[in-house]
Chains A and B, each alone.
Chain A
Amino acid sequence: MKTLSDKLLGGKQGVLGLALLALLIMVILPLGLDIFRLNLVGKYLTYAFVALSLVLLWGNGGILSLGQGMFFGLGGYCMAMFLKLEASDPISTKIQTTPGIPDFMDWNQLTALPWFWEPFKSLPFTILAILIVPTIFAYIIGFAMFKRRVGGVYFAIITQAIALILSILIVGQQGYTGGVNGITDLKTMLGWDIRTDSAKYILYYVNALLLFGCIFLSRYILTSKFGMLLLAMRDKEERVRFSGYDVSDFKIFTFCVAAMISAIGGAMFTLQVGFMSPSFVGIVPSIEMVIFAAVGGRMSLIGAVYGTLLVNYGKTVFSETYPELWLFLMGGLFIAVVMFFPDGLAGIYQKHARKIPFLKRWVAEEKQKQTDAHASHGKVGTKLGAEA
């Protein structure tokens, strides 16, 4: 029987993968990189939340969302609203026509804080909003789509359209959202300056811990009966429905969890990078995130993190030298991965890790144990049968 620790860690193979990733993120990168580059890695790791959410939703659930950027953005904007309000106290904004409101509102002739900005003066409310606003949004979309059995390509296109609409809305409503520039000049959180090197180190580690938290959460979901049902639904949705399950409920829930995980990434992005803008909400970022997950391996939670880091590293290197080529390269990479390595990096790793002798033995032992368990039960069954 599976224990809770087994479920969270995913057995021996899972422990090894997690330990390696933790070593890389918690020790090797912080020791090997200066704070500027580490902060960059921290930024990439916030995308990994979204890639992770896509492993749940797309890899395991078979539901492709091409609009995860909207949840990343919603989380990021919630965080940014809080930080912006703190940066807009009446003293530092005294040269404005209306002191005490964010600068972009003043430029757009707003004379009072809009009502929906008010509650973001409170940090506890903001944290709740980061978690709940995107989730409710996902619930509404999910309910409307999945109860009507909209799925597959249609769902992908609709999520893409919604992400586009949201980004256009944010750009259009300059006075309320900061428009195309986004919400910038974020300085402190409850008086703590987030721009200093020490703050960046702390935020990097907070981000890393949250990422592992989300990996554990996803692992728990995937190793439970829920996870098995997700795989079953991806394969034979009708069979699941005619086994007494309300398939749409499971899809809605998965979509909501994926939204929440993405939103945490967005909030951490705002904290570490110091701004949030609509360029992280629309179609392009949403599709980029899908590529991260695909490169890492859409079935692998840990692979998603590596995929995100690798593609972004490539992006940084290439876009400095050949900025105009990068998009083509990325498109090519996506096609290549889908065609030749459908299981991404994780697939390649698993294929070759099996050949390393001590790993092979280690994992085989565990498999054997499982088989033994079933076999012994079988024997008990026959013995009872013979007695009877």
Chain B
Amino acid sequence: MSNTDFILAIEDLTVSFDGFKAVDKLNLYVDKNELRVVIGPNGAGKTTVLDLICGKTKSTSGSIKFKNKELTKLAEHEIVRAGVGRKFQTPSIYENLTVYQNLEVSYPRGRSVWGSLLFKRSDDVMARVYKVAEEILLKDLLDMEAALLSHGQKQWLEIGMLLMQEPELLMLDEPVAGMSAKERDQTAELLNRICQNRSVIVIEHDMEFVKKIAHKVTVLHQGKILAEGSMDKVQADEKVIEVYLGH
């Protein structure tokens, strides 16, 4: 495939687990500064697509190009360093560390063994931690052990840890799961702010939330794309109503 303007171009991507195709000849293109939401019934393969992009699962065939760079052959940490950040479905933070430490340890400097041994907590690092902490509404809890945060705050913290790395593509797997209505609104605002200068892929089941953030929606079903387009268009799609929204 020739070079494109897409930040992410997935073509003919397939992964099969013992013959079961969790993702089947998938084509997906994401623009720069786009916020894309991926929806679909349980087991549709949404999480698996993110796993494939970030290298957690190796594809059976197909290609994933990020800024025209092939990702399928790279190791996980190389994909991150190329500019792809990923939040897991269950909040994945360092429970034993404080909020501050969680953020600082995610700062993209001192990533090698020697670099981390010589890493200095300089003013720019601190400034960045405070800025991100403010963004994710945890500014007043910097010294709190992360284990003590509420479920919603843990979700924010993980998003914050990704923001520390300033990824060009941010992938969030069900970021508002377990959040209160108010927290959902705050998260929607947060996402609308942070997608100003980067692309974001969000997997979500909460349709109210999706409406607030989505530029474009992709509906996944049995590893294939069922529909794609604006929220209104997708909601009106008969097939989508049948397999997903109708329930």
Check A128 for interface membership: any CB of B closer than 8 A: no
Q: Are A378's CB and B116's CB within 8 A?
A: no
B81-123 interface (Cβ within 8 A of A): 81, 85-86, 88, 92-97, 100-101, 104-106, 108, 110-113, 116-122
Given A225-B110, A245-B111, are A1 and B121 also a contact pair (CB < 8 Å)? yes
Contact for B117 among A221, A245, A247, CB less than 8 A? A221
**Using Cβ atoms and an 8 Å threshold, which residues of chain A touch B116?**
224-226, 229, 250
Q: Are A238's CB and B88's CB within 8 A?
A: yes
Q: Are A231's CB and B94's CB within 8 A?
A: yes
* Number of CB contacts from chain A to chain B under 8 A: 98
Contact for B96 among A231, A238, A253, A371, CB less than 8 A? A231
B58-91 interface (Cβ within 8 A of A): 75-77, 80-81, 85-86, 88
Check B232 for interface membership: any CB of A closer than 8 A: no
**Using Cβ atoms and an 8 Å threshold, which residues of chain B touch A236?**
92-94
Q: Are B165's CB and A225's CB within 8 A?
A: no
A367-381 interface (Cβ within 8 A of B): 370-371, 374, 377-378, 381
**Using Cβ atoms and an 8 Å threshold, which residues of chain B touch A220?**
117
Q: Are A242's CB and B95's CB within 8 A?
A: no
Considering only CB atoms, which chain B residue lies closest to A244 in the complex?
B80
Given A226-B117, A242-B54, A243-B161, are A374 and B142 also a contact pair (CB < 8 Å)? yes
Considering only CB atoms, which chain A residue lies closest to B107 in the complex?
A225
**Using Cβ atoms and an 8 Å threshold, which residues of chain A touch B122?**
1
Check A239 for interface membership: any CB of B closer than 8 A: yes
**Using Cβ atoms and an 8 Å threshold, which residues of chain A touch B86?**
242
A217-237 interface (Cβ within 8 A of B): 220-221, 224-226, 228-229, 231-232, 234-236
| Interface flags, B126-145, vs A, CB<8A=1, else 0 | 10001100100001101100
| Assembled-state Cα–Cα distance A374/B142 (Å) | 7
Check B56 for interface membership: any CB of A closer than 8 A: yes
Check A121 for interface membership: any CB of B closer than 8 A: no
Contact for A242 among B80, B111, B140, CB less than 8 A? B80
Contact for A249 among B76, B80, B112, B142, CB less than 8 A? B112
Considering only CB atoms, which chain B residue lies closest to A241 in the complex?
B76
Q: Are B105's CB and A232's CB within 8 A?
A: yes
Contact for A253 among B80, B104, B113, B121, CB less than 8 A? B113
Considering only CB atoms, which chain A residue lies closest to B106 in the complex?
A243
Given A221-B117, A225-B116, A232-B94, are A374 and B165 also a contact pair (CB < 8 Å)? no
**Using Cβ atoms and an 8 Å threshold, which residues of chain B touch A235?**
94-97
Check A2 for interface membership: any CB of B closer than 8 A: yes
| Assembled-state Cα–Cα distance A371/B130 (Å) | 13
Most chain B CB within 10 A, of A1, A226, A249, A374, is at A374
Min distance, Cβ A233 to any Cβ of chain B, angstroms: 9
B170-187 interface (Cβ within 8 A of A): none
Q: Are A2's CB and B96's CB within 8 A?
A: no
**Using Cβ atoms and an 8 Å threshold, which residues of chain B touch A197?**
none
Given A239-B88, A243-B80, A246-B77, are A378 and B94 also a contact pair (CB < 8 Å)? no
| Assembled-state Cα–Cα distance A236/B122 (Å) | 26
**Using Cβ atoms and an 8 Å threshold, which residues of chain B touch A378?**
130, 134, 139-140, 142
| Assembled-state Cα–Cα distance A242/B110 (Å) | 15
**Using Cβ atoms and an 8 Å threshold, which residues of chain A touch B80?**
242-244
| Interface flags, B191-211, vs A, CB<8A=1, else 0 | 000000000000000000000
| Assembled-state Cα–Cα distance A239/B106 (Å) | 10
Min distance, Cβ B119 to any Cβ of chain A, angstroms: 4
| Assembled-state Cα–Cα distance A183/B92 (Å) | 52
| Assembled-state Cα–Cα distance A179/B140 (Å) | 64
Q: Are A238's CB and B92's CB within 8 A?
A: yes
**Using Cβ atoms and an 8 Å threshold, which residues of chain A touch B165?**
243-244
**Using Cβ atoms and an 8 Å threshold, which residues of chain B touch A238?**
56, 88, 92
Considering only CB atoms, which chain B residue lies closest to A221 in the complex?
B117
| Assembled-state Cα–Cα distance A2/B119 (Å) | 11
| Assembled-state Cα–Cα distance A371/B144 (Å) | 10
Q: Are B126's CB and A371's CB within 8 A?
A: no
**Using Cβ atoms and an 8 Å threshold, which residues of chain B touch A243?**
80, 105-106, 161, 165
Contact for B108 among A239, A244, A374, A377, CB less than 8 A? A244
| Assembled-state Cα–Cα distance A232/B108 (Å) | 15
A interface residues (Cβ-Cβ under 8 A, vs B): 1-2, 220-221, 224-226, 228-229, 231-232, 234-236, 238-239, 241-247, 249-250, 253, 370-371, 374, 377-378, 381
B interface residues (Cβ-Cβ under 8 A, vs A): 54, 56, 75-77, 80-81, 85-86, 88, 92-97, 100-101, 104-106, 108, 110-113, 116-122, 126, 130-131, 134, 139-140, 142-143, 158, 161, 165
6 closest A-B pairs by beta carbon, nearest first, are A244-B80, A225-B119, A226-B116, A225-B116, A232-B94, A239-B92
14 contacts across the A-B interface (CB closer than 8 A) = A1-B120, A225-B104, A225-B116, A225-B119, A226-B117, A228-B101, A228-B105, A231-B94, A234-B96, A244-B111, A250-B113, A253-B113, A377-B126, A381-B131
* Given A231-B96, A247-B77, 15 other A-B residues pairs in contact with their CB atoms under 8 A: A1-B121, A2-B121, A224-B116, A224-B118, A232-B97, A242-B54, A242-B85, A242-B86, A243-B161, A243-B165, A246-B112, A249-B113, A377-B126, A377-B130, A378-B139
